[in-house]
Amino acid sequence: MATLRMLISGLAVLLLAGCESTSSSTDRDGSTGREPVRPRETGGGLNELLARNRGLHVNRLARRGRIEQGEEELPVGWKPRIERWWATWCRRPKDVDPTLVSFPDPVRLRAARVVLRREWVQSRTEWVALGPGAVNILVENLLSWYVRAYDANSGSEVDRAKLEIGLFKDEAIPYLVSGLGRSLGDSVVRTRLGELLATFGETPVPAIEEEWGRASDDGRLALVKAMKQMRSQGTVPLLKQVAGDEDAPWKTRIEAIGALGKMEVRTCGVVFRQCLRDDDVSVRKFAALHMHQVTDGGLADKEALVGAMDDALREGNRPVAQACRNALCAITEKRLPVDPARWRAVIRRDGKD
């Protein structure tokens, strides 16, 4: 089993660089299951590793200029107290009722879960009362638990962690945005955390805009994928910028185009017409595929599609030409072949035969 390595010198390094190992456990039926690694298995967990952080990365995006590294200190004795509270989170129903080990009675299981929930709420309340730095440590652990539960295919633990993280999204967002933007961790971890970021709606958008200039190409792709899942109007300005950015990688641009199409943003005609003339064939194709979702039905959009179809046929690029034809069919409700001359005639007659 690989050792969990949390590099807590930056917001993202803590989370994404260390979310790769899992521990194995043998189930009652003899099969081997996988479960989130517990604090004692992380080389010290909250003691050695989190001590280097001491909860000082407190929502820097919102409080920049008002705090300095090391300004906020946790109270004396915080380590053992947090260890104890985190152990409460890690407890299982069988730890409350040992009879569940051999006989998982549904009634007793529900009762044990009620006890665990009550104990955790009390522990969380005391934990948060230590101050912002302590909240940050809580979020660090919940995010790591979320990734490991996902890896262990434990849906109930994923949902439990997601519910808790949602209570502290202001602290969680900087971790997620910074980590995704720097493309740390493997692609699977980034996908999972992008999905989590998307559950916060448009709240992370300012943080994404802040991170954009520092993000790597892979990081920007991950952030665009997260915004695509948000389906929020707050993401539209940045997505339009990305879609029309000729210097951006084509993979990032087509994700932005697809996101705008899924949201049916009717103000994207100018950007999509620009994309239909782009040098990159994939950008042209995706602009054509999604034009019918964003067009206002105006003449300029239809003419742009016919022009792109004509160019594609001259280049011998049938897929792009077909995508333009399909978009025109959806917009005009006409069923014509891939023939620019016939489409131009229909458009001139305003769709009347």
pLDDT, tens only, 261-297? 999 999 899 999 999 999 999 999 999 999 999 998 8
pLDDT of 73 reads 65
SS3 annotation, the chain:
CCCCCCCCCCHHHHHHCCCCCCEEEECCCCCEEEECCCHHHCCCCCCHHHHCCCCCCCCHHHHCCCCCCCCCCCCCCHHHHHHHHHHHHHCCHHHHCHHHHCCCCHHHHHHHHHHHHHHHHHHHHHHHCCCHHHHHHHHHHHHHHHHHHHHCCCHHHHHHHHHHHHCCHHHHHHHHHHHHHCCCCCHHHHHHHHHHHHCCCCCCHHHHHHHHCCCCHHHHHHHHHHHHHHCCHHHHHHHHHHHCCCCCCHHHHHHHHHHHHHCCCCCCHHHHHHHHCCCCHHHHHHHHHHHHHHCCCCHHHHHHHHHHHHHHHHHCCHHHHHHHHHHHHHHHCCCCCCCHHHHHHHHHCCCCC
Task: Look up residue 51 and give its two tokens.
Answer: 């001590």
pLDDT of 38 reads 39
pLDDT of 151 reads 85
Q: What is the pLDDT tens value at each position of the chain, 353 positions in all?
A: 222 223 222 333 444 444 443 333 333 333 333 333 333 333 233 334 334 444 444 344 344 433 333 335 678 888 899 999 999 999 999 999 999 998 889 999 999 999 999 999 999 999 999 888 888 889 989 998 998 898 889 999 999 999 999 999 999 999 899 889 987 777 888 888 999 999 999 999 999 999 999 999 999 999 999 999 999 999 999 999 999 999 999 999 999 999 999 999 998 999 999 999 999 999 999 999 999 999 988 899 999 999 999 999 999 999 999 999 999 999 999 999 999 999 999 988 765 54
CATH 1.25.40 for domain 249-353, yes or no, is yes
Measured CA to CA, the distance from residue 206 to residue 62 in angstroms comes to 10
pLDDT of 190 reads 86
pLDDT of 3 reads 25
pLDDT of 62 reads 41
pLDDT of 132 reads 83
